[in-house]
Structure 1
Amino acid sequence: MFRIVLSLLVVFPSMVMATPSMHTLLSQGGYVEPIVVIGSVEAEYDGLVSSFDMDIKNGQLIYEIDILNLDTNEVIELEFDATDGNLVTKKLNVFESDDLDQIKAARIVIAQGMTFTDLVKLATQDQPGYLIEAALDHDLAISYLELKLLNVSSKHTIAFDIENLRPLPLLQWD
């Protein structure tokens, strides 16, 4: 039995190689900071960035960014290679009912004269960890930015009030 396992390890070493964790990839560096890619998207596309997420696909770190264009009622879904910031895929969709909460929050961001990048920077100052997710949302009559930060020991979620530009302590959880 040992020989069979050993021969499998020699013939198929990729089978035993674990997919690297998100924290491992981020701590090794070698990627474009998410806030830089988000800022580039804001400069290049019409609309407001409404969400950011990262994913590991085939061992590669990928950034996923959605843009709401309130003028055309469209959502642009973009994927970028995190190592160089180059666009990988682009999809265009019309608004759907599940976009309504983000649309409400986006209107408040626009009324505040802010960008998604501005909000992320405000919300994450003095917060340890890597930004792995951020999204506009509206619930309980509050528009907020929900963020997930990753550090060595845990994933930490915070909420940031868009109208009052302050953390929402009642919506902090681990």
Structure 2
Amino acid sequence: MRLWLLGLILVSGVASAAQSLYSMLAGGDYRPPLSVMQQVEKDFQGVITEFEMEMQEGELVYKLELINPLANAITRFEYRARDGKLLKQKAAKVTADELSEVEATRLITAKHQTFSGLIAMATKDHNGFLTDAKLDHDLGISYLELKLLDDTGKYKLAFDVENLRQLPLLKWD
């Protein structure tokens, strides 16, 4: 009985956090993520490979990763969502864990696309707020995995980078 009650409390806490984030995003008191991404794409060489938002000390923060495959470098950024101010920037060399993302960046570059442009295409028929996006390359497919939040909760999308179309999500039981 206690385990069941603990599970219910955890689930309701997650749902409450999602609703709280949705209320904040619906209030519109922040700089849109695509705007921040476009600024990064304009100011830095490379391709954004990951975006996420999180609360830090009561403040909504956007985290982005940008890979420059020519320099074999990855740069991580943190921006304050309220006004788009850069909070942190850290550069490093690309590691073996990020090679699938490097492969996806090469395709995006060859197709003259941008991360923000792909997100705009992938979300054009969806009314949710973008909370996470990540480029990946698996089983010969470069794709963008997105997490959106609407008034009913969180949901995922997958978008094929090469064919510029939505992919079905596989569900593992």
TM-score, normalization: structure 2? 0.85
State the partner residue of 1:22. Answer: 21
Q: Is 2:69 the partner of 1:65?
A: no
> Secondary structure at 1:21's aligned position in 2?
helix
The Cα shift of 1:170 comes to 4.0
Kept in 2, the 8 Å contact 1:157–1:172? The answer is no
2:85 aligned with 1:74: no
Q: How far did residue 24 of structure 1 move?
A: 2.5
Q: What is the rounded CA distance, in whole Å, between the counterparts of 1:75 and 1:119 in structure 2? A: 20
**Contact preservation (8 Å) 1:109, 1:162:** yes
Q: Percent identity?
A: 40
For residue 100 of structure 1, report the CA deviation from its aligned partner.
0.8
Deviation at 1:38, TM superposition (A): 0.2
CA distance in 2, matches of 1:108, 1:171: 23
Secondary structure of the residue aligned to 2:105 is helix
The question of 1:51 aligning with 2:50 is answered yes
- The 10-residue stretch of structure 1 (20-29 or 31-40) with the greater mean CA deviation from structure 2: 20-29
Name the residue aligned to 2:4.
none
Kept in 2, the 8 Å contact 1:158–1:171? The answer is no
Alignment pair present for 1:103 and 2:97: no
Over 3 Å counting, the alpha-carbon distance change for 1:106 and 1:62 in structure 2 is same
Amino acid aligned to 2:47: L
CA drift at 1:127: 1.1
Q: How many pairs are equivalent?
A: 156
* TM-score, with length taken from structure 1: 0.85
Distance 1:166 1:172, change over 3 A: farther
Q: Which residue in 2 is equivalent to 1:11?
A: none
Alpha-carbon RMSD: 1.8
Separation of aligned partners in 2, 1:154 and 1:169:
19
How far, CA to CA, are the matches of 1:84 and 1:172 in structure 2?
Answer: 37
Question: Which one-letter code corresponds to 1:147 in the other structure?
Answer: L
Q: Which amino acid aligns with 2:46?
A: G
Aligned match of 1:83: 82
Deviations 1:97-144 (A, max 9, x none): 110111111111111111111101110011120011111101111110
Aligned partner letter, 1:97: A
- 1:70 CA drift (Å): 0.9
